[in-house]
Structures are given as C-alpha cells and as structure tokens.
Amino acid sequence: MPNYLFDSLFAPHAQKENVFLHLSSGDSITYSGFVKLAARFANVLIDLGLEVGDRLAVQVEKSEYGLALYAACVQAGIVYLPLNTAYTVQELEYFIENSGATVLICDEAKSDTLTPLVRRLGVVLSTLGPTGQGRLQEVAQHASEHFVPVQRGPDDLVAILYTSGTTGRSKGAMISHKNLLSNARSLKVAWCFDETDVLLHALPVFHTHGLFVATNILLLAGGAMIFLPKFDLDAIFAHLPRATTMMGVPTFYTRLLSDKRLIKGSCAHMRLFVSGSAPLLNETHVQFRERTGHAILERYGMTETNMNTSNPYAGERRPGTVGFPLPDVELKITDPKTGDLLENGEIGQIEVRGANVFQGYWQMPEKTREELREDGFFITGDLGRKDEEGYIHIVGRNKDLIISGGYNIYPKEIETLLDEQVGVEESAVVGLPHSDFGETPVAFLVLKKGASVDLSKIDTVIAEQLASFKHPRKLIILDELPRNTMGKIQKNILREHYNDLFHAA
C-alpha cells in the first residue's frame, strides 16, 4: 500500500547494509537494521491497541530506539507526538489530554512518577530507555521485523508538534506527510546533501530541528549520522574528523568558540555548519569564520513550517540575515494591521505559503483561522524586512514589539547596538509596564567572562545613535538570559519577573 512519507524516506533503504547511525557507544546501525527495528516497534504499537490516526505521546531520552519509534509511527499511520524530556507531570497532563493520546511511552526512570497520571487519564503506559531497556523493547525483540505500511496520503497527519507556549497554552501544530517530505526534498538540494555526507547530530529529537530537518534530509540523501545523546564538547571534537556536516543552535557555536581545540585543522573534513532555532550573533558568525575558515549557514524555520528560508550554500552567507526563501516557499512582508504588502526595507510581519506549511492547530479552529489565511499564507508572528538584494532580516516577534508613548520600538535594533559594546556578550530588550508611557524598554545584559562595563558609557552610546524614545530606561546585568531547550531567549520570563519594576513610576 502507498505510504507517502515511508515510501520515500525508509522503504528505499530496507535492503541496504551501509551505516545509517554511528552511536556514541562505538556501535553502529545499518539502514536495513534500522528499518527492521522500526517494523518491530510498529507491530508492538499495534498490539498496544493503537490504530491509524491515533496519537502516540513519546517522552524518552535520545537514542536510536526513540528515532525508530518515529519511523514506526510513519508506517503504521499513527500520529507521532514527541515531547520535551524536561516537561513536568503537570505539563504532560495537558499535552496528553489535549491531543487525546491513548498511549504514552516514557523513560523507565519516569515510569513510577507517571503511573498515577496515566491511570487517571486512562492511558496505556510503556517504557523505553536510552540503551533499549524497558517494556517496549523487551516485547519488540520477539516481534516480527516485517510490517506492511498502511496507506497514507500527502495530507494525512504524521505528527503533532506543540509550540513552546510562551504566551499561554501550547498549540499543537498538525504536520502532514507532505509538509515533511516537501521540506526535506527542498533542503537536500539547497544544502547539497548526498550519500557521502556524515552529519554530526547532537540536537534533541523532540523538536523539528533534530527530528525532522536533520533526520529526513539524511534519509533522503542516504548518508549517515553520528548520533550523539547530547552536545558535549569532547564528543564533538572527537567526532569532527569523521563528519562532513553539523546542524546546531547558536549555543553550540559559542561553546565551540570557547574551546581552544576549534581551529581550521579540526574542521578540515567539514563542508557545512548550519545554525537555527534562535538568532546567531554577528560576532559569533565572524569569530567562527576567522577560527575555522567556515561561514555558518543560518536559516529560518518554525514548528509550524519546518524551514522557510536559508542563506545560500554557494554565495554570500550574510551575517544578521536568514537568507532567501526556499524555492518552494513564498514569503512576503505585510502590514500587521491591514495585511497589505510592504516595500523592501520596511518592517512588517512575515507571512509564508508553501507545501511545508502545517494544516492548522489541533483542537483550536479559532486560532487556526487567526494565523492561517484562507489563501494559504501563514502569519508567522515574526517581524522582519527584506533588503534590496532579497535577504530576509528577522527583527523579532510581533509580541515582542514595544509600543512606548505611541511609538513602535523594535528590540532587535537596540540589542544589535548593545551587543557591539565592549564587554557585552549578549543582550535582550523587553517592554515593561510604565504609568506614563504604557510600556518602556528595559535592556538586560550578559557580560563576557571576566569583563566589566561602565553602564553610563553605554547609555551615552545609545543616546548618540538612537532616538530618545528608544532608549532603555534601565540597563540590568544578569549572569545569563533565560532560554528554552533550543536556545531561544525566553523574554516572557524576563517580563514576568520584572513586571513591577516601574510600579511606583
């Protein structure tokens, strides 16, 4: 039976004996071995009572077994629901109830903690550990390594990915077979992946970056992955000589830059470093190129869309931009109030349309109508501009726009200036409530290791280069900025913590 995603990603490798996964233990798994493992899991999932269209919630540590669960769901027509391993019981309760998941697979170590929850919700619980221990694998060892994929078309759901939920309850983005395959095909070509590539994979696999972007591209290309449990500097440097490519978040690259082992020689075998999930500082881009000779390729994507834009593989990878729309993605900058198209150089909301764009939010039809236009354009919530050469610049999130005394203030403009100051490692600017202005900008600074700064001098620089209404009312030094697991700065936490800063103003 035709299965849109499985037939393209997994079925072509069923008889191949070349290595798909190099594991941190020193072992490896061939393509055919991986396909057989996935088939065993698919048979076990059916035995657990899951049917086509049912949701499977998965909260397990990164491993080849967890990855095989994804493949098992694809061929069995089960909707895969990967969950951050840091989520608490209370958070899991929302995701399970909202999705209607009937089975939860968790790490063995969390089984006792989650048992009361699954009993209360009437959910079947099974376990899977990072080395294969657990009830799921015990049963799978005796299951058939053959499974006939169920029929699934381009528009059938393959996964539900929950957004980070920084402004209320998380929304479940409904991802189809077509969404994933179209994007993987586009990126394979854009980034020149083929069967000779070895991807250094240190990303989590509960997020679209590590699970779908990285894995699906390599499956299409027929290359291999060095599959690390997490980002670890010693492990990265040990495996760099065997790799050709790496996908990471900005934190990966700043940590690499902090290590003296990062030199041109250590990256001699590499052809591509990709960064995403959070903005890359210009300074990081410049320093990495000076140290390694490689220009990091920055791209732009979302949970709801996978990848939308990319700096060119062959051409200028311009710091501070996310490049151009991918060939099969339409992107426009519009007025947030009217939806009218804006001219190049003007800041507005980013809208995208293409086969990569999700089908809507699970159980949230009103939210879907708010953000997904009838003509197929998705209102991303990001603010940006297109320069005269077509490069896309991300300015920030629409919700982060500061309106002070009637003036629009884009935090990115202030942050860019602050990041350039001597001694400043990075910054975040948020709007806080103010009795006179409605809200006013406040800047949070993280200093370079061992550095000290004169805040009055920074104030002077700001006064010289920015209009008075853009001046941060306060500069606050922090040890670090709050981030989520993918490295994105959580400005909502800063706003909540400092909400009463001007209460007496």
For 140-187, the pLDDT digits (tens) are 999 999 999 999 999 999 999 998 654 457 899 999 999 999 999 999
| Strand duo 245-248 + 272-275: pairing | parallel
**Alpha-carbon distance 53 to 50, whole Å?**
8
Question: Could you tell me what percent of the chain has a pLDDT over 70?
Answer: 97
CA dihedral 7, 10, 15, 19 (to 10 degrees): 160
Asked if 66 and 99 touch (Cβ cutoff 8 Å), the reply is no
**Alpha-carbon distance 457 to 459, whole Å?**
5
Domains present along the chain, CATH in parentheses = 4-18+32-153 (3.40.50.980), 401-497 (3.30.300.30)
Question: Could you tell me what percent of the chain has a pLDDT over 90?
Answer: 78
| pLDDT at residue 283, rounded to an integer | 84
Strand partners, 302: 306
| pLDDT at residue 168, rounded to an integer | 57
Structure tokens at 159: 């996964």
| pLDDT at residue 505, rounded to an integer | 42
Asked if 83 and 36 touch (Cβ cutoff 8 Å), the reply is no
Average predicted confidence (pLDDT) for the chain: 92
User: How many angstroms separate the Cα of 321 from the Cα of each of 270, 385, 421?
Assistant: 23, 10, 20
- Higher local confidence (pLDDT), 473 or 434: 473
| pLDDT at residue 330, rounded to an integer | 97
Element (H, E) at 310: strand 306-310
| pLDDT at residue 271, rounded to an integer | 97
Inform me whether the pLDDT recorded for 452 exceeds 50.
Answer: yes
Q: What is the pLDDT of residues 381-420, one digit of tens each?
A: 899 999 999 999 998 878 887 878 767 787 888 998 999 9
| pLDDT at residue 212, rounded to an integer | 95
Q: What is the pLDDT of residues 224-251, one digit of tens each?
A: 999 999 999 999 999 999 999 999 988 8
Inform me whether the pLDDT recorded for 215 exceeds 70.
Answer: yes
| pLDDT at residue 167, rounded to an integer | 46
Residue closest to 493 by CA, chosen among 110, 47, 167, 111: 167
Inform me whether the pLDDT recorded for 504 exceeds 60.
Answer: no
User: How many angstroms separate the Cα of 474 from the Cα of each of 124, 352, 412, 432?
Assistant: 52, 36, 16, 11
Structure tokens at 79: 């909707």
Strand partners, 446: 426
- Please return the burial class of 436, using the count of CB atoms within 10 Å of its CB with bins 0-12, 13-18 and 19+: exposed
| pLDDT at residue 164, rounded to an integer | 64
**Mean pLDDT, range 103-113, rounded to an integer:** 94
Residue with token string 């999705």: 99
Residue closest to 90 by CA, chosen among 127, 130, 120: 120
**Alpha-carbon distance 133 to 175, whole Å?**
30
Q: What is the pLDDT of residues 21-80, one digit of tens each?
A: 999 999 999 999 999 999 999 999 999 999 999 999 999 999 999 999 999 999 999 999
Residue closest to 322 by CA, chosen among 393, 411, 218: 393
Q: Which residues contact 25 (CB under 8 A, 6 or more apart)?
A: none
Instruction: Enumerate the H helices of 258-311 as residue ranges.
Output: 282-292
